[in-house]
Amino acid sequence: MTTEQIQQGIIDKILLLDNQDLLLAIDTLLGQSVNQHDIYKVSGQQRKVLEASEEDIKYNRIISDEEVNQEEDSWLNK
């Protein structure tokens, strides 16, 4: 398994968590392991996502957090 696959697996699992205490513990653990002066390395896939996000912002293809929550509620209630 590559580092990128492991990272994506961890991200996927974190996104499913709803336990605030566990999320805070993970945040604390990760905060201790990341130095403020570290250089962040992104994969090619992550770079593409970031570039697409910047383009969306540039062309105002964004929606509010409230709208996202409403859409999510609509999907969950189907």
26: Cβ contacts below 8 Å, ≥ 6 apart: 14, 17
Q: Rounded CA gap, 11 and 43, in Å?
A: 14
Question: pLDDT at position 30, please?
Answer: 85
Whole-number pLDDT of residue 36: 61
- pTM exceeding the 0.75 threshold for the entire prediction: no
The distance between the two most distant Cα atoms of the chain, rounded to a whole number of Å, is: 46
Spell out the domain ranges in the chain.
Answer: 1-37, 42-78
In the predicted structure, residue 17 carries a pLDDT above the cut 70: yes
